[in-house]
Structures are given as structure tokens and as C-alpha cells.
Amino acid sequence: MDIKLKVDASGLSCPLPILRATQGIKTLQSGELMEVVATDPGSVKDFAAWASSTGNALVEQDSANGKFRFVLRRK
Amino acid sequence: MDETISIVLFSGTDDKLQSAAVLTAGAAALGRPVKILLQYWALESFRADRITADHGLVPEAGRAGKAALDAAAKAGQAHWTETLRMAKELGEVDIQACSASMELLGLKRSDLDPIVDGVEGVAAFYVNAGEGQIVFI
């Protein structure tokens, strides 16, 4: 998987993870991938909502050791 | 559906302004336009000379609430002005001062922090709100 941009939002509380994601995705071209890592437990529902609302696709998601990882494709 | 969210800020304490900044930033991240109207004590908190001063907390915060917020700030949680600035950079966020409150508080446009985009009356606020939701904080 060719990840163009990695955003570390660890330790940041809502709404900063989705703000960082919004900043990050703007730097990508359509179809490119961004990975976001967050520790805010609310980010699981937030990224699903953000993806469905903005049209950027959530293509992969997992969690381990209190970290949540999201891979998003710019629409 | 009208996607615009209109938020009337009445209270000027830091906790309420933080709450408003979080709601604004979240909407901006989703691509929804946000219109903010500043009235009364919220407007007072947007004065250029004291926007980052300590504006206190609502009474129910108590000492434990204050301690929790102080700890969050120390841990690096963004100040509400910072969150609002980020929201403005990312999305369509318009902040207007209520003209009647300006007069009541004896404020001029130049007394306000530049984060404020302009001054308007309540009719303009309603027209801009359209069919969208209105939140009062």
C-alpha cells in the first residue's frame, strides 16, 4: 500500500485528529492515501463520520495498544 | 438540507468558548459552513486586548473542574482561540459581532481581535442561517 502521507495525532483530543486529517488530505491528489494514528477513542466514530461526510474513503482501520489507525483515500 | 450551522455565542467563559470552538472545528472538518454571532459576554471575550486572558469558567465547574481544565491546558490542549483559527483556515467559518452588543459594551470594530470578520444585526444573522440549525451557547 502506497501511503503518501502519515499524520500522527496521538495524544490529541477531539476535534484535533479530524482537523489534522482535514489539513493533511488537502495536500494530497485524488486517489492518494493518508494514514492517521490517533489515541482518542472517539476517533473511531469520528473518522467513519468524517469519511462518509467528506467523501474521502476509509479504506483500512485497525487498533492496537490504545492506538487507532486509519487509512483514507482522497476522493 | 441546509448544511450551514449557525452558533450564537452569549457566554464569555473559557469553557463555553472552548466548547463552541470544538463544535465549530468539527463542522469545518466535515465541510459544513459555520456562522458565529458574538453577543454580550462572548463578544467581550473577543476584545483584541484580552482574547487570550483568563475568562473564567461557569460556576458548576467548581475547583475540581478548574483543576481538570488547567491540567488539560498544561498537557497541550489547544486554547479555544487556536482551535477557532485552525477551523477558519480549514473551512468556511464566519465570525460576526452583534451590533447591539457592540453598542452596549461601547466597543468599536478596532477593539475586536482580527479573528472577528465583521459586525451585523440579527436580521442578517437569520437570513444567513437560512434553514440550517442554530445553536446557542
Per-residue pLDDT of B58-105, as tens digits, reads 999 999 999 999 998 888 889 999 999 999 999 999 999 999 999 999
> Count of CB contacts below 8 A, A vs B?
40
ipTM of the complex: 0.82
Contact B8, B24 (CB under 8 A): no
pLDDT of residue B75: 86
pLDDT of residue B76: 82
Domain locations in chain A as residue ranges: 14-34+43-54
Per-residue pLDDT of A39-63, as tens digits, reads 999 999 999 999 999 999 999 999 9
pLDDT of residue B2: 66
Residue that is written with C-alpha cell 493518508 in the block: A34
For the residues B104-115, what does the mean pLDDT come to?
97
Closest partner CB to B26 (pick from A11, A15, A23): A15
Q: What is the CATH number of domain B5-136?
A: 3.40.1260.10
Per-residue pLDDT of A9-40, as tens digits, reads 999 988 999 999 999 999 999 999 999 999 99
List CB contacts (< 8 A) between A23 and chain B.
Answer: 86, 89-90
Are B22 and A15 an interchain contact pair (Cβ–Cβ within 8 Å)? yes
Looking at every residue in chain B, the average pLDDT score rounds to 95
3-state secondary structure of A48: helix
Q: Residue B8 burial (CB < 10 Å; 0-12/13-18/19+)?
A: buried
Is A34 catalytic? The answer is no
Q: Return d(Cα B42, Cα B47) in angstroms, integer.
A: 9
Q: Residue A32 burial (CB < 10 Å; 0-12/13-18/19+)?
A: middle
Q: With 60 as the cut, is the pLDDT of residue B1 above it?
A: no
**Nearest C-alpha of chain A: how many angstroms from B25?**
7
- Categorize the per-residue pLDDT at B44 as very low, low, confident or very high, splitting at 50, 70 and 90: very high
